[in-house]
Homo-oligomer: A and B are copies of this chain.
């Protein structure tokens, strides 16, 4: 049987501790060269959807032999480039039937090659971002870190918190978002979920003042955390490059990144209305930070670089780019749990295999 799983299945099957454990094990494999990842590729063309939109076929592969799986994550996107305020932003359109997005993970066995499972990428995409930043906290924050200041209250913010709570004994959280209603509702929901006080703050500086860990979990392409807010011993964490002001990165005693892959392999067709996200391009041009100078997360976990040397140091982890490898590692757990719990729609594996030599 090849399993078809839904986002709901994935959400039910994969706990954050499981996800973190699988990634941690997989990153050691990667640091040792036994687990491998193929750089993301983006094929960009025009689309008949609309003149100002583009079509993107994106893929990334990863194989973790120790966990017995290889994975391919595929996105098939319709993307527009509207001006929002003064900046051009990329906005994915749910253009597939029933107003849906298209992102898939295919999981294969490294033992016999068979297709094990196919599932949408959305829930796992968020879980692995959380788990990755959680590992940043585990290997860089002070051992006794117990308070978090969270900037953001959207889709990514939740898994940032749940992951941090797995790796440190967190006793309280302050959160800030420019969207006050959202922030209040988020705080109430997370208080219930985590069993610790999660309090909305009136200003971002209130949220981050006096805390051990600052987590940026926003969709902002402008800096939201600044050098002037740094306090001794803090751990800074971000889910995309622009969130932490470059001066704050430079002021940190230890910096680590998720991966030394700096950007996807890009193939753009003639006629594609492809515009670089001006904010991101601007950030890259203006700040000129060479990410390869910093250790990556696998090196940190495998002990090739220290996360922190003293309680006073300021540490900074940047989750700079995703890897197909994460989908393989976490996917192995999802598949194992699905089999244990008899979850998913089983299709004949013969539908996805062949007698003909390929």
Contact = CB atoms under 8 A, between A and B. Distances in A.
A311 B125 CA distance: 59
Contacts of A38: 41, 43, 59, 265, 267
Contacts of A106: 74, 104
Given A108-B57, A270-B34, A354 B101 contact: yes
Contacts of A102: 108, 113-115, 352-354, 358
Contacts of A270: 32-34
Interface of A: 4, 6-7, 32-38, 41, 43-49, 55, 57, 59, 61-63, 65, 68, 70, 72, 74-78, 92, 94-104, 106, 108-115, 118, 120-123, 125-126, 155, 265, 267-271, 345, 347, 349-358
Contacts of A354: 7, 100-103, 120-122
A113 B43 CA distance: 13
Given A38-B43, A57-B108, A102-B113, A120 B63 contact: no
Interface centre among A44, A68, A103, A104 (most CB of B within 10 A): A104
Given A101-B358, A351-B4, A356-B7, A70 B47 contact: no
Given A101-B353, A115-B76, A354-B7, A36 B41 contact: no
A32 B118 CA distance: 35
24 contacts: A4-B351, A34-B45, A34-B269, A36-B268, A36-B269, A41-B41, A57-B63, A70-B76, A75-B358, A76-B108, A76-B109, A76-B113, A95-B112, A96-B109, A96-B349, A99-B355, A100-B353, A101-B356, A102-B113, A102-B115, A102-B352, A102-B358, A121-B358, A155-B357
